[in-house]
Chain A
């Protein structure tokens, strides 16, 4: 606890907890670097149409497999598409998948975990056993299995309800990736929320709220969850990189985002098998998307570590 006391701002100047947290992140070099990379990715994702010099699927057959140059910063691929544009647009795919998978996991995991932890009994048994069952499946193999299975179903369903135009675009691929990863993601989250809720519900302020007749949903929403949030934010921030990685792997295997949709995973897939024998002259085609994906995972790991150290000082000492 010594470092916490030392690092706390002097008592005379009150600071908001947000400012304090920001300070702790910024003064931790790896975490600050992680935050910078994450911000860069967000920036690329939001302003992709403005940043990318070419459309991500524009082919220039007179200019294929060219190395990095002033016109094409990251070179061009086998179809003459500008790699820099594809990678910038790939950031948008990655951010969209990360945000949506997190949203799905939260929407399922938070209510289920809170109900299990707060009410206990049968609800707890059923929810936690369901989570156990999901945990028993072999991680990535199960995600691939689900993605491969639900994909034709989703496309057929879109056709049936009259969205055949949508079925022809790549947008449904995003739905497949998001469902496959979200279905798995909630279980770990529900376990964490449940454990938090179980300890917090025994605290005096919760017992007090219940004694004064506050309804259960209000106790959970207003009294318990705000106090349970910190460890969950830490755990989730470390998991965000894994979501990006999983999207990369799914797209690499051809069951995620399909070309020409830009995804770092399918950029690597298109180029690794085809060009590795022609390394090093073709190496940028694999190296750049690979390093970008690695940098994002790296950034979330560093950022999560920093957040963890800032929010849970007792773990450090």
Chain B
């Protein structure tokens, strides 16, 4: 077991080295010169040269990279070059991260709350029309592109369209929705969180429903369920106490795996709804060539992913001795 842990931990810095190298190369050789973006098209060449020197962009690639890594190890991920000019990237991320994590937690909560009961029902009513309907709805949910859901759901739930909603007999008024403006975010206890969180939860609902359905079907064929029924327990007790509990175990594992994804904000959702999270920050940075921000975010998400995978692998290793030898 110790060897397994050590091998995995030794691989971690190598992996991070390559991830940071690729990210840095993409940033440096990427499109657009941030200095030119900063100064505009009519900038004078001398100023450009001076700023290039000031920011160290005139140094060879490996020097730039080593300096970036040295700074990053000390917690300095560079400065915003464009939109939030000269603000440290670390601070920008520290502001955006809690927002994204909160939004993702709401999405996971919705995903569990909707997906688990749906999966339970589908598993119990296996191969009936209820099962088919639930599975169809879930696949439909993950098939609808976010770029389609954003405008359409905004329209449906927007107060501006009360007339339409009345006509359709749908009176959902969940607050003034103003997508694509700053300051949309009011925290997770505001009604404004529902739409972005729901759109982000569709994928989670699909995973949870599938897993719960498969789990129920598997568990219900176990001997101990037959025993419980033979003992004369009421069906409700058999389902809730015996079957459901065991079907929920893999759900816990999936939740563990999702923790790594908590820090990755959805680009398209956050940008559309104006949620000031990691996804919106990455979106801005990518399109304004603010590459220190993009690099730091890619690194952050990669580290979170690797660490959560390591954690899951280690718990598996503890639970299942066969994996340790592999």
Chain A positions within 8 Å of B, measured between CB atoms, are 30, 129, 132-133, 135-138, 140-142, 144-146, 148-149, 151-153, 241, 245, 248-249, 252-253, 265, 268-269, 272-273, 276-277, 279-280, 283, 286-287, 289-291, 293-295, 297-298, 301-302, 305
Contacts and interface: CB of A to CB of B under 8 A. Distances in A.
A126 B14 CA distance: 12
Contacts of A295: 143
Contact of A294 (B29, B144, B298): B144
B30 interface: yes
Contacts of B26: 145-146, 149
Contacts of B30: 145, 148-149
A136 B142 contact: no
Interface of B: 11, 14-15, 18-19, 22-23, 26, 29-32, 136, 139-140, 142-148, 150-152, 154-155, 160-161, 164, 179-180, 264, 267-268, 282, 286-287, 294, 297-298, 301-302, 305-306
12 contacts: A136-B15, A136-B302, A137-B302, A144-B267, A145-B294, A148-B287, A279-B151, A286-B152, A289-B148, A290-B145, A294-B144, A298-B143
Contacts of A268: 145, 147-148
B145 A133 contact: no
A133 B136 CA distance: 35
Residue in B148, B264, B268, B302 whose Cβ sees the most chain A Cβ within 10 Å: B148
* Interface majority SS (helix, strand, loop, mixed), chain A: helix
A290 B267 contact: no
A136 B143 contact: no
Contacts of A290: 144-145, 147-148, 152
Contact of B267 (A30, A140, A149, A273): A140
Contacts of A135: 305
Contacts of B15: 129, 132-133, 136
B164 A280 contact: yes
A252 B150 CA distance: 12
B298 A141 contact: yes
Q: Report, nearest first, the 9 A-B pairs whose CB atoms are least far apart.
A: A290-B148, A298-B143, A138-B301, A276-B151, A297-B143, A149-B30, A272-B151, A279-B155, A152-B31
A132 B309 CA distance: 11
Contacts of B164: 279-280
A289 B160 CA distance: 24
Nearest to B301: A138
B29 A149 contact: yes
B150 to A, nearest CB: 7
Contact of B19 (A136, A145, A280, A301): A136
Contacts of A276: 151, 154-155, 179
A268 B26 CA distance: 28
Nearest to B263: A138
A295 B294 CA distance: 33
B152 A138 contact: no
A249 B279 CA distance: 14
A249 to B, nearest CB: 7
A183 B320 CA distance: 34
B22 A133 contact: yes
A294 B267 contact: no
A301 B138 CA distance: 11
Nearest to A245: B145
B14, B26, B179 pick with most chain A CB within 10 angstroms: B26
A265 B147 CA distance: 8
For A138, A145, A252, A279, which residue has the most chain B Cβ atoms within 10 angstroms? A138
